[in-house]
Structure 1
Amino acid sequence: MSSGNMEEEQQLEEPLFILENGEVYRNPTEVKMSQIVLPCHANHCAELSVGQLLKWMDSTACLSAERHAGCSCITASMDDIHFEHTIGVGQVVNIQAKLNRAFNSSMEVGILVSCEDLFSERQWKVCNAFATFVARRTDSGKVQLKQILPRTQDEQMEYSIAAERRRMRLIHADIMKDLLSNGPVSRVGECQEYQNAVPAEKTRVESVELVLPPHANHQVNTFGGQIMAWMENVATIAASRLCNAHPTLRTIDMFHFRGPSQVGDRVILRAIVNNTFKNSMEVGVRAEAYRGREPLRHINSAFMTFEVLDEDKKPRTLPRIRPEPVDGMRRYREAIARKKIRLDRKYIISCKQTEVPLSVPWDPSNQVYLSYNNVSALKMLAAKNNWVLSSEENKVSLYTLEENQFLSFRVEMKVDVPAERVFILLSDLSRRQEWDSHYKQCDVINQVDEDDVIYRVVTPSVSKDSKFQDFVLLASRRQPCDKGDPYVIALRSVTLPTHTATSDCNRGEVLCAGFTIWEESKTITKISYYNQATPGVMPYISTDIAGLSSRFYSTFCACSKFLEENKDGSPAVQSAAL
């Protein structure tokens, strides 16, 4: 198998963190598991079975959740998992799990899986995942989880972004529904021809498993990882029947457990190939449980993407699938929708920041992921702890951060205005020209929903050609998830076919900018403005960062005055501004 990038290999082992006071710190929820891959864990290609890996991942993450909750926990869901490499017999699997954030009765646990070659001492990343666990009720009623206190920069980032990931999970079903009903996917297949295609029925697999004590956890419920392992097994068989070869599992889509099963249950697993693309196929799996003559209980559904590799480890071209009528065609269309969602996530969310273009195309089907990325990028920038104070004037502070060929800056001040009112006023970019001289014009292009608006902003020229500069910006706002969280207003450039660059303006781009708004008391609010400077923005700020201009100071003094003059707004005016 391939060993991954050499840079990755040296960064997997996280050292103990030394705090500023000299204290050696280790996350109290962190759990590590190491397993050597034996032949009994492997398939006939001498590679670790993904089902076995899922069992180990689930067990490790559950122990982390229970370490924090102090009671039994059950697996509720697992976000998308992309397997970057396979793992061979004789190699060591290292799994690290730790709690990212606790909500009321649920928790997000981050999982990192790496592989270690004992003979060469190399390590490389295999996958990472985010699992949600729910604390089980006690005799006294529902469990109320204590909050965690992030203490390192990485923990602060994950804690902050966990709220965004939770929001994505809650609206996942709605995204799928909208894409199927309103997008081009709804019309796919109506005029398709399926000559020389493999009938989907040929790939259908059904299997039954009896839940025995070794399959159960300490709560006598079937391990979530065990259910996933059984599902992966039948999915692999279905994929093999299509291509008459051994497939490689690449991705498992986000899924959630609908209910538990216990020792003594019979678990029926059904799998079928839903659709094939050029080099990949999606297999759908459904798990149901029953006992005696009782009705079937739906336990879980999952969608797995497989590839078939040739002798050179390159993906083979796969045959087309001919779906069954009605339900088969529904699954066929849903597979296309899920592929689009996967590509949107990979393109917008999963890419390294330096690999993503400054302006990403916007359309209704990827709006949710752009909004997620927009807010998450700002939260990650705000969580960095290596900001340097550049200048300070009358309690307006300017900080800078040079990292990864980017120059970022942060302007910070406090105002005697309630945080919620500050959030309402700053959320409406069309009012920013009242205090920011850089905003000469700001028009709403698209009021997407109550949290996302696309604007066109025109700013004055800073070059000799005297052309104005314009930006097409997606503004995404978030209210606090919990007490102690900030209000967030995130900005980034997007492209729209209806608003392309024009000859009378130089098109500028914003990679990451926006506000975090912290409530320090009922009336005192701390405002931080961030901007990850791009070449189009640099001319506006270079002299300020060099300390040769007071434009930052005057602009944010004007912002403070604007907020204080408008802090007493009526509810009707407030909602109109959103």
Structure 2
Amino acid sequence: MSSSTHAGTGTPPPAPPTPSHAVNTPDDTLVQMHKILVPSQTNAFSISLLGGELLKWMDTCACLASERHSKHPSVTASMDDLQFRERVRAGQLVRISAKVTRAFNTSMEVAVKVFLEDPLNSGSVAMCEAYFTFVSLDSQGQKVAIPALVPVSEQDKDQHSLAFERRQIRLDRKTSIEKVAEILQNQAARRSSIDIAPENLSSSRTLLDGSRTVVPAGLTMVESWELVLPQHANHHNTAFGGQIMEWMEMNATVSASRLAKSYPLLASIDDIHFLGPIKVGERIIIRAQVNNSFTTSMEVGVRVDAVSIHDPQPRLVNTAYFTFVAIDGDGKRVKLPPLSVANADERLRHDEAIARRQVRLDRKKIRSEKAELAVHCTEDNLKELCLSNVSNLTILKSTRDWDVLSERDGIQFMTKDVGNTLVVRVECFVSASAGEVYQLLEDMSLRSEWDKLFVSYDTLRKIDSDNDIFHIKMRSPTSLVAGAAQQPPQDFVLLTSRRRPTDFSKHYVIAHRSVIQENMPSVQGYSRGEVGSSGFIITPTGSKGSDKTHIVYLNQFGSSVLSYMSGDMIGVSNMLHNSLVRLREFVSNSNSVKHLQETVLNRMIEQEQHNVDSLSEQCDRLFQPPATLTADLVAAQARLVELKKQRTAIMQIRRV
């Protein structure tokens, strides 16, 4: 039977749907591809798909999605980092799904997801996902403006909002790695210089204890030339991005095998950025070399240069970093030999690899929905941590199959197991506008009005207007239970990220997660607690200006509180129910809320006035005060004026 007819009918399959409106939605750009893995596409053990083959499929699918939206030929500008969760084995089915998440001026982000399907079992398993950036070109090869994209579903609206932050992270990621590498390089400069005899540069040598062989980095160097032919090209007669990535992965695999003396498997890829096109007829030079080896993984750096037959001067096209693991005949990981370096260039790449590995590990931990431990918060992962703080909470809210434990007084209490954590979900409606609810819940100084466990908070760091790091002290849940064995109070170091509605997303988000701050050690008398994704998602339910709002509270508990919760889930349910009742009463009573806000403002005005008086006194004592001191005084005076304006506005509302 032909694949172009319906089974049993002989009629052609229906044509793909076409948009009936002028403006595309993300679903209008959706493209899916289905592949069956055959032995010729597997590695040496015939157990796993070649990574380069998958990269080509993903890039093709993403390109088709981008062209469905822009209606112009598109080229790959970049691919974000990619981590493989599962291996594709011979005989399995691969489903690749791609759709545009957001359109910018001359570029667009495309989300690509890969799923595995086993013909012998129902269902599918997520293998990996990545975000590609494409630009569209006209017949002259010039960038064209990308038409608007209008998200419709709540999930697409969330992705549209987060795409802007992902774009900022792409622009900053290279800088963050370079900063860490510079620190490592300075540390290396203080160490003794490397002394490797010339004869050791061309052969391996064994450690003194005979345990493993040291492999010089130079022995892993691979250089390949490729001629770009028409079958490698896109619509513009320039090399197809997926083909370049396949060649890069192939050479990286060869380099990795020279260190491992085994068959390496691709585990992850860092960002790939294409700096320019490669024309048909040009030659490309692909160089790959192991930068550093760790216990069971290694990083391979790959550089691609293009050479024209008319201009022998190579030009850089892109660089990328591939992480491999080596396996034996049973599919188990093997230990890798250490790598030796011979010159300053190899030492620099060696140290940069350590920095990149730390960024990868942090990134993996940050994005994991199952991680219960707090994540180290550093300058290098700060922006991604803030983005993931919000995205993980919105993803958690959209998951299905919650276990409903109770529903009374209009408050629903649910739970869900996620890895080795327990997520609690409580939701209700309140009689107040979403904007007002958001303002009240984001103000940490008002939390004690509805949360009986809350003791106090300190601001450890104000990152920007939307992100802060707080140190919070809480009573133990057992303190509210008469006759219960008392547990010590807990304190938390939380990253708090706030987001207001965007053009399409109508949610207010207040997201928390535990982080590790070196300047915040343990506090005597308190047990340091940890939470994963937690916080509030606040959504208006009616028309603009409506006073009906839906609140979803989520909290991902780790082992520090699971022992108590598992023993008294009914008690926990009652405690959270009572907290939501108090919260609902709190936000619905606008007059008392305004009074509380006025009280808080009075306290802030008093503190700011003291600050102004202190700075004024310092300036008066000096004949010529420093410019920085004068600037601090002016800023404090401006803050004081603004606080007094806010208090006046609230007092006027209360009188009305």
Same fold (TM over 0.5): yes
**1:175/1:463 Cα in 2 relative to 1: closer, same or farther (>3 Å)?**
farther
Are residues 1:327 and 2:328 paired? no
Q: CA deviation at 1:557?
A: 3.4
- The one-character-per-residue Cα deviations of 1:39-90 (angstroms, maximum 9, x if unpaired) are 5544554454322221111111211222222222221221222234444555
Distance across 2 between alignment mates of 1:473 and 1:556: 23
**1:506/1:319 Cα in 2 relative to 1: closer, same or farther (>3 Å)?**
closer
Q: How does 1:131-280 map to 2 (within 5 A)?
A: 131-136=132-137, 142-151=144-153, 155=156, 158-159=159-160, 161-182=162-183, 186-188=186-188, 190-191=191-192, 196=205, 197-280=214-297
Distance across 2 between alignment mates of 1:574 and 1:371: 31
Distance across 2 between alignment mates of 1:45 and 1:107: 38
1:473 alignment counterpart:
494
Distance across 2 between alignment mates of 1:466 and 1:320: 48
Q: CA deviation at 1:436?
A: 6.5
Are residues 1:532 and 2:534 paired? no
Contact 1:281 1:305 in 2 (8 A): yes
**1:226/1:399 Cα in 2 relative to 1: closer, same or farther (>3 Å)?**
same
Are residues 1:457 and 2:472 paired? yes
Are residues 1:300 and 2:331 paired? no
Identity of aligned residues (%): 35
Where 2:68 maps in the other structure, the secondary structure is helix
2:415 alignment counterpart:
402
Q: CA deviation at 1:303?
A: 0.4
Where 1:296 maps in the other structure, the secondary structure is strand
Distance across 2 between alignment mates of 1:449 and 1:26: 31
391, 411, 422: which one aligns with 1:376:
391
Where 2:263 maps in the other structure, the secondary structure is coil
Q: How does 1:97-108 map to 2 (within 5 A)?
A: 97-108=98-109
1:347 alignment counterpart:
365
2:29 alignment counterpart:
29
Contact 1:457 1:473 in 2 (8 A): yes
**1:442/1:89 Cα in 2 relative to 1: closer, same or farther (>3 Å)?**
closer
Q: CA deviation at 1:267?
A: 1.6
**1:548/1:263 Cα in 2 relative to 1: closer, same or farther (>3 Å)?**
closer
Larger Rg: 2
Contact 1:84 1:126 in 2 (8 A): yes
Q: CA deviation at 1:231?
A: 0.8
Contact 2:265 2:324 in 1 (8 A): yes
Contact 1:434 1:562 in 2 (8 A): no
Contact 2:472 2:492 in 1 (8 A): yes
Contact 1:102 1:148 in 2 (8 A): no
**1:87/1:408 Cα in 2 relative to 1: closer, same or farther (>3 Å)?**
closer
1:443 alignment counterpart:
458
Q: How does 1:88-127 map to 2 (within 5 A)?
A: 88-116=89-117, 118=119, 124-127=125-128
1:555 alignment counterpart:
586
Distance across 1 between alignment mates of 2:261 and 2:641: 62
**1:512/1:207 Cα in 2 relative to 1: closer, same or farther (>3 Å)?**
closer
- Kindly indicate which of the two structures has a greater share of residues assigned to helix: 2
Q: CA deviation at 1:277?
A: 1.0
Contact 1:415 1:560 in 2 (8 A): no
- Stretch of structure 1 that moved more, 138-147 or 201-210: 138-147
Runs of at least 5 residues in structure 1 that lack an aligned partner in the other structure: 1-24
- Stretch of structure 1 that moved more, 77-86 or 526-535: 526-535
In structure 2, what residue type is equivalent to 1:454? I
In structure 2, what residue type is equivalent to 1:173? K
- The one-character-per-residue Cα deviations of 1:270-300 (angstroms, maximum 9, x if unpaired) are 1111111111111101112232216433221
In structure 2, what residue type is equivalent to 1:149? P
Contact 2:587 2:593 in 1 (8 A): no
Where 2:28 maps in the other structure, the secondary structure is coil
Distance across 1 between alignment mates of 2:594 and 2:236: 55
Contact 2:493 2:514 in 1 (8 A): yes
1:310 alignment counterpart:
328
Runs of at least 5 residues in structure 2 that lack an aligned partner in the other structure: 1-24, 197-204, 206-213, 606-636, 645-656
After superposition, the CA RMSD in angstroms is 4.2
Distance across 2 between alignment mates of 1:283 and 1:66: 32
Contact 1:91 1:115 in 2 (8 A): yes
487, 490, 497: which one aligns with 2:511:
490
- Stretch of structure 1 that moved more, 462-471 or 30-39: 462-471
Q: CA deviation at 1:512?
A: 3.1
Distance across 1 between alignment mates of 2:72 and 2:425: 43
1:130 alignment counterpart:
131
In structure 2, what residue type is equivalent to 1:477? R
- Stretch of structure 1 that moved more, 210-219 or 187-196: 187-196
- The one-character-per-residue Cα deviations of 1:398-432 (angstroms, maximum 9, x if unpaired) are 55443335321245547569x5x987776553565
Contact 1:101 1:162 in 2 (8 A): yes
- Stretch of structure 1 that moved more, 358-367 or 216-225: 358-367
2:574 alignment counterpart:
543
Distance across 2 between alignment mates of 1:276 and 1:344: 18
Distance across 2 between alignment mates of 1:344 and 1:293: 43
- The one-character-per-residue Cα deviations of 1:233-274 (angstroms, maximum 9, x if unpaired) are 221222222234332222111222222222222222111111
Contact 2:161 2:502 in 1 (8 A): no
2:535 alignment counterpart:
514
Contact 1:157 1:383 in 2 (8 A): no
